[in-house]
Structure 1
Amino acid sequence: MNTQDSAMDKPAGPRGSVNPEKVLGGLASFAVGSRVCKPVPPPPPPPQEDDTYPSDFSKIAVKVSKAIPRRYDDDGDESASPPVIYVVPRDLAEGRNKDAYEPAAVCIGPLFDQTQRSTEPWRKLERYKWCCVRKLIVNAEAGPGRRGSCWIPDLHTPLLRKCLDRMTDLEPQIRASYYAAEGMLGGSGAAGVVHDGHTLALMMLLDGSFLLHRLLKQGAGRMSLSTAASGGGGGDDDDDDWTQVFGQRGVWGLVARDLLLLKNQIPFFVLRALFKLLIKDGRGADREDVLVQGGLRLFASLRPGGGRRPPAAARSSSSAMKITCRDVHHLLHLFYMSIDISRRPQQEQEQEQEQEQEQEQELWVPCATELEDAGVTFRAKTSTATSFLDVTFHGGVLEIPPLELYDDSEPLFRNLIAFEQTYPHLPAHVTAYAVLMDCLIKTPEDMRLLHKAGVLVSHMNGDRDVATGFFSRACAQARISSGESYLGFVMADVVRYQSARWPRWRAALVRNYLSNPWVVTSLAAAIFLLIMTGLQTFFAVYAYFKPPN
């Protein structure tokens, strides 16, 4: 039987039906030349549904739906206002001496737990805070112009209860004033802000009374606290501050330094609330200015500038600055406004116009010695300077207000720069100034040049390299753009002047030929001889062509 007969003997399937096995077998045996096509793999099975995915996705969707950016209002509600007290960002403080951001004598605010407060060297002043509360309450109940001494429970306890209740009422606003997110220094500080209501209220009462006591004493000079706040007559205060901490007579200098640390702050409205409860003179907000005046006097010796001004100088400047209690967020903010508020508005507008043209300029200038070689002259700006930030450049002269550096100047500059780097919508003037000075001072020779010009004087302990790297350490990791720097146009003008040829040639002439009187005398004699020789030659030639009759 042939092949056809054997095929015909097999039963035929239904008409029109196709056997898929035969089709696949034919495709497998189909040859093109000497190559055989491989069978097409079947499609992958559909993924099985994971029972856990829908629940995870629902959590993600809920979290995304609730991620609404918080918007702060300007309706006067302090609980809806943005935070005003921050801690130092980690990237700004890593690899540096963290002591510049830590208190040395007193802890202020909830970023420090009770365990830290009860250890040395902070324990002594923690006890003194209770004395401040007692003194303020006793004087308040004694009446205006009078000073109390004895604690009478029936008389003074109600006022103490009223102060604690007021601090408890302010708890939402107090918590909203602090921002301590992850990635910032004081990881314990992020948790340290979370106190129960009674602990936070007591902490605000103690810290607020301590600060109020200090500001009233400074604002009133040597007058008693109750007399000063009520506008009465004089009288020495019976509280000798230096005796409160035996063995540390200079502790109050450390306290003033500690009160300007970034995270060592409490909201200023806490001081205002205690002032209204404890200072009863019937004049209200008019007398609150004594807090601003006291703050300026307290920090007068720390103000950067040409020498440490006595406290009396701060009293005259406070009236000119027009700083009110409503404008102040905390003591560091008050100090910052005092060194920057004196800038002229017209000058600010001119700088903004210049900055718009210098948006892409690099914030850099050559060092002081290179600028001197290029013909730039450094001059101390004394008579017309409104602040140590008032730097100008005109006609090849870079005028910088005098600045004296002390051992406590570095923590001050670091915290001011950290304040600018964390506080929203704050002009980075101190950062810009530090960047400029860091560019100018690269070697001890640069430091010597600025010292000779009266611009910079170092009273810091240690060798000259300590002062040379002062601004480099202060502004390390600080970020600022040319559009944010009020000195951007000044630095651009300096670079353009340094790149010109004529100032460089003129500087070389002065340096090589006019460096001392003897060289000047020799040059003048040579010029005189050259002129005389020229005149002699002229008359000799003239007489040859036109002899006399």
Structure 2
Amino acid sequence: MVAVFNKELLSWYLITLKLKETVDAGITNIQSPTSARSVELPNQSYQQKQQSRPYYPLQIAINAETSYNIEEGPKSPESEWVIIIRDKLEQARQDDVAGSWAKLCIYKIPQHLREGDDKVYVPQIVSLGPYHHGKKRLRCMDRHKWRSLYHMLKRNNHDIKIYLDSVKDLEERARACYEGPIGLSSNEFIEMMVLDGCFVLELFRGAVEGFKQLGYSRNDPIFAMRGSMHSIQRDMIMLENQIPLFVLDCLLGLQFNMPDYQKGVVAKLALQFFDPLMPTDEPLSKSDRKNLESSMGYASTFDPLSDQGGLHCLDVFRQSLLRRGPKPEPRIWIKRWSHANRVADKRRQQLIHCVTELREAGIKFKKRKTDRFWDVKFKNGILRIPRLLIHDGTKSLFLNLIAFEQCHLDSSNEITSYVIFMDNLINSPEDVGYLHYCGIIEHWLGSDAEVADLFNRLCQEVVFDTNDSYLSRLSEQVNQYHDHRWNAWRASLKHNYFSNPWAIISFVAAVVLLLLTFAQTFYGVYAYYRPGG
């Protein structure tokens, strides 16, 4: 071994050795009886001639960054660039395979929506599905997932292979529900689906049947409905943290030894599990509910056991809020995203005036007795709005529902329309305070200012066409009432002179005094012109 300290001398030494090895290899190939020979035919094309020539891969190492081929010379930068472009086009062709987007229903939140607050879209405790799988800060929940899987297998006396084989048959269909390529092997993806799916089902069943009945200890850190359960519920309702509903249906059916288990049971369990996140808790009597259903012309209760099913838990939760079937009329892509309907200016999203301005125009606000928080009515100058309960999870819930409506083309936009409507109504803490006084808003936040800030931030980055809102007609009626001058004058008169008993007494006294003065003046003038009358 010879130590060489001169860099240039070392480079020439390596080049000499490489040349010697290559020349020796070339001489050996020429002398070999089986060596390939190049024969040029008269009609042979240039490309065929090039392919028929013997190829000797001679590489001369000049430095660590550049290499040349003696036979071909240095590669053209343009040819490498063309190859890269062709690779990208091939990837685009694979992505654009017919039907590749048809089953997509679990989306990554678009970047323009994340600019407001990324935490409301990213799970903080538990990951479900591939988008946040394996993240370091979420791994501590994995051991509890494995505990739940062990409890489930032990309770049912099942072998894990049954679940793995069943989910393997659904792998392709499940992968199609997620956006973009999933960087997990087949075995890793199936393991994740089984582990996360069984964990979700254990939570659902435990919340309904009781975790003690499922074999968990009363002081279990996760499966005991402690304070952390609320945070887990918020993570599980996020759009990026969903598992296809048909996977959960399959796993639940296997637990009961019924592969063809009735669809919709998981949806029913999910609604009971996510009930604390409901943005309304308005109790209705049986008579009130019956009157409500008859006035609407159809049953207002969403039936999760129907054949229509749902896409995932967030979709089921949204359907239950809207109290209607899960298959609304699909929106037309061209109409939704045409240049004429693209709305980026916040002022173009104005549906209605704020509470303070509407009150000045004489519009009254009253709480509407219904459990459908989005069902707003307006008649005879009275705006009836159902009660809305706002808690610390409302922001994340609404933003993920809005993101789903923005991403999923076959989804209607009732939640987005309602949130923008309330955003227009609320411009200040005073607006929130008056709605709270009317019983329309009930919140668990620190102050009315926080509620106003919440609504003002919910739809900052949402592109929305007011003409595509179910509240557009109602807003038009309210604005027409607001713009009528007589209504504003009447409201001003009532506010200034009939707001309290003392103001009324003062107004009546002023009117009586004015009438007496008029009568005195009249009789004085009358006596002057007709003194003998």
- Give the TM-score normalised by the residue count of structure 2: 0.70
Residue 375 (1) aligns with residue 395 (2):
no
What does 1:8-157 correspond to in 2, within 5 Å? 70=96, 81-94=102-115, 96-116=116-136, 119=139, 123=140, 125-141=141-157, 156=158
Q: Which amino acid aligns with 1:214?
A: L
Q: Provide the secondary structure at the position in 2 that maps to 1:322.
A: coil
Does the 8 Å CA contact 2:376/2:386 hold for their aligned counterparts?
Answer: yes
Cα deviation, residue 362, structure 1: 4.6
Greater Cα offset, 485-494 or 193-202: 485-494
Q: CA deviation at 1:480?
A: 1.0
**Deviation for aligned residue 1:386:** 4.9
- The aligned counterpart of 2:210 is 222
How far the C-alpha of 1:109 sits from its partner, in A, is 0.8
Contact 2:389 2:442 in 1 (8 A): yes
> C-alpha separation between the residues in 2 aligned to 1:113 and 1:467?
33
Which of 456, 474, 487 in structure 2 is aligned with 1:490?
A: 474
Partner of residue 484, structure 2 = 500
Whether 1:238 aligns to 2:215 is yes
Q: What is the aligned counterpart of 2:379 among 388, 394, 399?
A: 394
| Cα separation, 2, equivalents of 1:260 and 1:500 | 44
Residue aligning to 1:4: none
The answer to whether 1:276 aligns with 2:253 is yes
Mapped partners of 2:261, 2:308: distance in 1: 10
**Partner residue in 1 for 2:288:** none
| Residue 128 of structure 1: how far off its partner (Å) | 1.6
Is this contact kept in 1: 2:124–2:138, CA < 8 A?
A: no
Asked if the contact 2:302/2:325 (under 8 Å) is kept, the reply is: no
Residue 81 of structure 1, CA deviation: 3.1
DSSP-derived class of the 1:305 partner: coil
Measure how far apart 1:261 and its partner are: 0.8
What is the one-letter code of the residue matched to 2:221?
Q
Mapping 1:387-466, distance limit 5 Å: 387-461=372-446, 463-466=447-450
Bigger RCO of structures 1 and 2 (CA < 8 A, at least 6 apart): 1
For 2:220, what is the secondary structure of its paired residue?
helix
Which residue of 2 is the match for residue 321 of structure 1? 302
Q: Distance in 1 between matches of 2:255 and 2:223?
A: 28
Higher mean alpha-carbon deviation, 518-527 vs 473-482, is at 518-527
Give the Cα–Cα distance (whole angstroms) in 2 for the partners of residues 488 and 471 of structure 1.
19
**Post-superposition shift, 1:306?**
4.5
SS of corresponding position for 1:109: coil
- Within 5 Å, which residues of 2 pair with 1:504-515? 504-515=488-499
Map residues 359-370 of structure 1 onto 2, 5 A cutoff. 362-364=348-350, 365-370=352-357
The letter for the 1-side match of 2:167 is M
Secondary structure of 1:321's partner?
coil
Offset at residue 504 of structure 1 (A): 0.4
Q: Measure the CA separation in 2 of the matches of 1:163 and 1:194.
A: 22
Residue identity in the other structure for 1:513 = Y
Instruction: Give the aligned partner of residue 228 of structure 1.
Output: none
* C-alpha distance in structure 2 between counterparts of 1:215 and 1:374, whole Å: 49
Shift of 1:397: 1.6
CA shift, 1:223, in A, is 8.5
TM alignment of 1:280-319, pairs within 5 A = 280=257, 284-286=260-262, 288-306=263-281
| 1:86 alignment partner, SS class | coil
Render the CA deviation track for 1:335-384: whole Å, top value 9, x for unaligned: 111101349999xxxxxxxxxxxx999531222111111112121112xx
| Change in 2 beyond 3 A, CA 1:536/1:237 | farther
1:114 alignment partner, SS class = coil
Determine if contact 1:216/1:290 at 8 Å carries over to the other structure: no
1:478 corresponds in structure 2 to: 462
Matched AA of 1:443: S
CA distances 1:470-518 after superposition (whole Å, capped 9, x unpaired):
0121111011102321111222222222111011001100111111011
What is the Cα deviation at residue 101 of structure 1? 1.3
The answer (yes or no) to whether the contact 1:388–1:402 under 8 Å persists in 2 is: yes
The structural deviation recorded for 1:523 is 2.4
**Cα–Cα, structure 1 residues 80 and 417, in superposed 2: closer, same or farther, change >3 Å?**
closer
Identity %: 30
Q: Are the equivalent residues in 2 in contact too, given 1:174–1:267 (CA < 8 A)?
A: yes
Give, in angstroms, the shift of residue 404 of structure 1: 2.1
Displacement, 1:200? 0.8
**Other-structure match for 1:172:** 172
- Tell me which amino acid in the other structure corresponds to 2:112: D
State the one-letter code of the partner of 1:201.
Answer: I
* C-alpha contact (below 8 Å) 2:216/2:223 kept by paired residues: no
Q: Work out the CA distance in 2 between the residues paired with 1:299 and 1:115.
A: 25
Corresponding position of 1:161: 161
Q: d(CA) in 2 for partners of 1:484 and 1:333?
A: 21
How far 1:399 moved relative to its partner? 1.5
Distance between the aligned counterparts of 1:212 and 1:345, measured in 2? 25
Q: CA deviation at 1:169?
A: 2.1
- Residues 386-442 of structure 1, C-alpha deviation per residue, up to 9 Å, x if partnerless? 511111222222221111221121111111111111112211211111111112212
Q: Distance in 2 between matches of 1:103 and 1:66?
A: 31
C-alpha distance 71-200 of structure 1, shift in aligned 2 (>3 A): closer
Partner residue in 2 for 1:210: 199
The unaligned stretches of length 5 or more in structure 2 are 1-75, 285-292, 294-298, 329-340
Residue 104 of structure 1 and its aligned partner are, at CA, apart by: 2.2
Instruction: Report Cα offsets for 1:505-538 as digits up to 9, x if no partner.
Output: 0110011111101111232344456667778999
**Rounded Cα–Cα distance in structure 2 between residues aligned with 1:409 and 1:453:** 20
Q: Which amino acid counterpart does residue 139 of structure 1 have in structure 2?
A: R
Question: In structure 2, do the counterparts of structure 1 residues 400 and 82 end up closer, same or farther at CA, with 3 Å as the change threshold?
Answer: same
* Largest Rg, 1 or 2: 1
Gaps of 5+ in 1: 1-50, 74-78, 142-155, 181-189, 225-235, 310-316, 347-358
* 2:179 pairs with 1:195: no
CA distance in 1, matches of 2:221, 2:86: 59
Counterpart-to-counterpart distance in 1, 2:251 and 2:379: 50
With over 3 angstroms needed to count, the CA separation of the structure-2 counterparts of 1:291 and 1:240, relative to structure 1, is farther
- Aligned pairs, number: 429
